[in-house]
Amino acid sequence: MNKKNNTVREIRLQYKSKLMGADETIITSAEKAYEVLKEHYDQDYLAIREEIIVLYLNNANKVLGVYKGFSGGITAAVADIRLILAVALKGLSTGIIISHNHPSGQLKPSEADKQLTKQLKEAGELFGIKVLDHVIITPYDTYFSFADEGLM
Q: Please write down the HEC assignment for all residues of the chain.
A: CCCCCCCCCCCCCCCCCCCCHHHCCECCCHHHHHHHHHCCCCCCCCCCCCEEEEEEECCCCEEEEEEEEEECCCCCCCCCHHHHHHHHHHCCCCEEEEEEECCCCCCCCCHHHHHHHHHHHHHHHHCCCEEEEEEEECCCCCEEECCCCCCC
140 within domain boundaries: yes
Q: How would residue 144 be classed by pLDDT, with cut points 50, 70 and 90?
A: very high
What's the confidence (pLDDT) of residue 99?
A: 97
* Domain assignment present for 132: yes
| CATH code, domain with 53 | 3.40.140.10
Residue 101: give the domain boundaries. Answer: 26-78+96-145
Q: How many domains does the chain have?
A: 1
Q: What's the pTM? A: 0.85
What is residue 18's predicted lDDT score, i.e. its pLDDT?
A: 64
